[in-house]
Amino acid sequence: MNILIVGSGGREHAIAWSVSRSKRAEKIYCAPGNAGIAELAECVPIGAMEFDRLADFAEEKNIDLTIIGMDDPLVGGIVDVFEKRGLRAFGPRKNAAILEGSKAFSKDLMKKYNIPTAAYETFDDPDQALEYLKSCAKYPVVLKADGLALGKGVLICNSFAEAEEGVRQIMQDKKFGSAGDRMVIEEFMTGREVSVLTFVDGKTIRPMTSAQDHKRAGDGDSGPNTGGMGTFSPSPFYTEEIDRICRETIMQPTVDAMASEGRPFQGIIFFGLMLTEDGPKVLEYNARFGDPEAQVVLPRMKTDILDVCEACIDGTLDQIDLVFEDNAAVCVVLASEGYPVSYEKNVPMYGFENFKGKEGYYCFHAGTKLSDGQIVTNGGRVVGITAKGSTLKEARENAYRAAEWISFSNKYMRHDIGRAIDEAE
Ligand code: AMP
Ligand code: GLY
């Protein structure tokens, strides 16, 4: 099969790596890709939102399957464009990607189908939002821009003053652009967070192994929210009993709800869950692999990714046995100092050769590029260093050792990825 992957981050590098291991993969392309992906795939300079150019390319190169890594093109309807031209693409159509594209949609869906989530109200008008917040007795309260905001459109406000400022940022200053035309105000939940990525074919759902992200920039969950500074998999808190409850009360009901709404979901549903005292509840849905969740989940997946993606498109997922290795993985993100606020780019990077021939160690590129034959930084999250181990503790030790193999002058990382594991043991 000839494969095209759309995206340019660590997630797409992990997808490309997984595809490269498939016996069925022949030629792999990635648009636009990055310096690391270029070692596995031919990178083509077409942007992820250039749907017609991507479809032209897929036709020209006889691409058998296009895998969309990113949320923006999915929410924008790339799969519909491909389908209309008779091209096979993995990911939800526009009418299903709205599960991630609109928080108001997903909250209303959960309410209608009794899927456990935080209580909420939706607002189109900032004055009404403020009126509601004045009467809202319980702080903290959570404000969410309705649309896509690079994982940053969520504000946790501890007082009315903070919430007032939040409404201003989201709805009036449009800090997250048109994503803030509508807003969800939500009850604050407490508990442990778990990410469960799942394959879905419209009716059947097959959960992958669990993972946990670390969204804050600094150690001890300090500092601003980021796209994710590191992950571990599996989550020891996601027990068999919790898994059973989630499948019954959250996962299958979500798939069935989307089908009932005439929006059959085919692709990946990423369940952001909070394990509360009242049981597991949905924090958010995403319509694609998580980043950096993919960097710990895919290296542990034994099943051929192309078989699973095709089964999702063909509606035959019930015939797939999804199998993961009985081990653990930890990913530590190496970022540019100052991320997510402001940081320097084009900094030369060294040490990639240390990963050559090391089984169970991976350097997934997120923001890198090749400049005159030298790999340089090209983003806030630069690379994700993943290592496997027989236990989470061993995987963490391995990942932190490997994190030292790469150097660049403004390298920054968290030192406590997976620290929570110690509590579980
Ligand atoms: P989201 O993009 O919706 O996953 O939100 C980003 C982060 O904000 C989550 O990973 C949680 O840590 C936090 N968060 C979102 N919604 C809530 C909530 N209702 N209660 C507590 N924390 C939340
Ligand atoms: N790591 C969270 C996300 O991909 O949305």
Q: Which of 38, 87, 94 is nearest to 313 (CA)?
A: 87
Do 197 and 309 have their domain in common? yes
Is the pLDDT at 321 greater than 80, yes or no?
A: yes
Q: What is the pTM of this model?
A: 0.95
Do 287 and 204 have their domain in common? yes
The answer to whether the CB of 216 falls within 8 A of the CB of 223 is: yes
The answer to whether the CB of 209 falls within 8 A of the CB of 405 is: no
Does residue 101 belong to any structural domain of this protein?
Answer: no
Say how many Å lie between the CA of residue 166 and the centre of ligand 1: 15
Do 138 and 174 have their domain in common? yes
Ranking 95-109, 137-151, 281-295 by mean pLDDT, the lowest is 137-151
Does residue 113 belong to any structural domain of this protein?
Answer: no
Do 227 and 303 have their domain in common? yes
Note the pLDDT of residue 425. Answer: 60
| pLDDT category of residue 422 using cuts at 50, 70 and 90 | confident
**Boundary of a domain, candidates 141, 166, 187:** 187
Do 200 and 181 have their domain in common? no
Beta-carbon contacts of 288 under 8 Å, excluding residues fewer than 6 positions away, are: 11, 68, 69, 70, 71, 74, 91, 100, 267, 268, 270
Domain count, the chain: 4
Ligand 2 atom closest to Cα of 11?
Answer: 4
The DSSP secondary structure of 368-399, one letter per residue, reads EEEETTEEEE-SSEEEEEEEEESSHHHHHHHH
**Boundary of a domain, candidates 187, 221, 244:** 187
d(CA 36, CA 74): 23
Is the pLDDT at 172 greater than 80, yes or no?
A: yes
The answer to whether the CB of 418 falls within 8 A of the CB of 392 is: yes
Do 169 and 208 have their domain in common? no
Does residue 397 belong to any structural domain of this protein?
Answer: yes
**Which whole number is the average pLDDT over 301-324?**
98
Is the pLDDT at 229 greater than 90, yes or no?
A: yes
d(CA 19, CA 25): 7
The CATH number of whichever domain residue 175 belongs to comes to 3.30.1490.20
Beta-carbon contacts of 375 under 8 Å, excluding residues fewer than 6 positions away, are: 35, 348, 349, 352, 368, 369
- What percent of the chain stands above pLDDT 90? 87
Which residue out of 213, 284, 296, 414 has the highest number of ligand 2 atoms within 8 Å of its CB and is therefore the one to mutate?
213
Do β-strands 28-32 and 42-43 pair in parallel, antiparallel, or remain unpaired? parallel
| pLDDT category of residue 173 using cuts at 50, 70 and 90 | confident
The CATH number of whichever domain residue 232 belongs to comes to 3.30.470.20
Does residue 111 belong to any structural domain of this protein?
Answer: no
Does residue 104 belong to any structural domain of this protein?
Answer: no
Do β-strands 120-123 and 141-145 pair in parallel, antiparallel, or remain unpaired? unpaired
Do 183 and 216 have their domain in common? no
The CATH number of whichever domain residue 349 belongs to comes to 3.90.600.10
Say how many Å lie between the CA of residue 151 and the centre of ligand 2: 7
**Which whole number is the average pLDDT over 81-88?**
98
Do 7 and 31 have their domain in common? yes
d(CA 170, CA 166): 6
**Which whole number is the average pLDDT over 162-169?**
90
The finding on whether 283 has its CB within 6 A of some atom of ligand 1 is: yes
**Which whole number is the average pLDDT over 165-186?**
90
Note the pLDDT of residue 135. Answer: 84
Do 213 and 258 have their domain in common? yes
**Atom 2, ligand 1: which residue's CA is nearest?**
151
d(CA 206, CA 209): 10
Q: Which of 296, 291, 253, 213 is nearest to 99 (CA)?
A: 253
- Give pLDDT tens digits for 1-26: 999 999 999 999 999 999 999 999 99
Ranking 74-78, 131-135, 397-401 by mean pLDDT, the lowest is 131-135
Say how many Å lie between the CA of residue 373 and the centre of ligand 2: 31
Beta partners for residue 4, in sequence order: 29, 66
Question: Using a 6 Å CB cutoff, which residues line ligand 2?
Answer: 151, 213, 228, 286, 290-291, 293
Do 334 and 407 have their domain in common? yes
Amino acid (1-letter code) at residue 66: T
Does residue 108 belong to any structural domain of this protein?
Answer: no
Is the pLDDT at 420 greater than 90, yes or no?
A: no
The answer to whether the CB of 230 falls within 8 A of the CB of 331 is: yes
The parent domain of residue 264 ranges over 192-319
Which residue out of 138, 141, 154 has the highest number of ligand 1 atoms within 8 Å of its CB and is therefore the one to mutate?
154
Which residue out of 293, 295, 297 has the highest number of ligand 2 atoms within 8 Å of its CB and is therefore the one to mutate?
293
The CATH number of whichever domain residue 76 belongs to comes to 3.40.50.20
Q: What is the mean pLDDT of the chain?
A: 95
**Atom 18, ligand 1: which residue's CA is nearest?**
188
**Atom 4, ligand 2: which residue's CA is nearest?**
290
d(CA 297, CA 226): 20
Do 154 and 212 have their domain in common? no
**Boundary of a domain, candidates 187, 210, 237:** 187
Two structure tokens written together for 246? 């989630």
Is the pLDDT at 67 greater than 80, yes or no?
A: yes
Ligand 2 atom closest to Cα of 228?
Answer: 1
**Which whole number is the average pLDDT over 409-413?**
98
Alpha helices in 113-193 (DSSP H): 126-135, 160-167
The finding on whether 189 has its CB within 6 A of some atom of ligand 1 is: yes
Is the pLDDT at 95 greater than 70, yes or no?
A: yes
| pLDDT category of residue 424 using cuts at 50, 70 and 90 | low
Note the pLDDT of residue 152. Answer: 75
The finding on whether 118 has its CB within 6 A of some atom of ligand 1 is: yes
Do 302 and 205 have their domain in common? yes
Is the pLDDT at 275 greater than 80, yes or no?
A: yes
Does residue 103 belong to any structural domain of this protein?
Answer: no
* Residue 169 DSSP one-character state: I
Is the pLDDT at 208 greater than 70, yes or no?
A: yes
Does residue 114 belong to any structural domain of this protein?
Answer: no
Say how many Å lie between the CA of residue 290 and the centre of ligand 2: 4
**Atom 10, ligand 1: which residue's CA is nearest?**
215
Say how many Å lie between the CA of residue 368 and the centre of ligand 2: 19
**Which whole number is the average pLDDT over 24-52?**
97
Q: Which ligand is nearest to the CA of 119?
A: 1
**Which whole number is the average pLDDT over 246-271?**
98
| pLDDT category of residue 150 using cuts at 50, 70 and 90 | confident
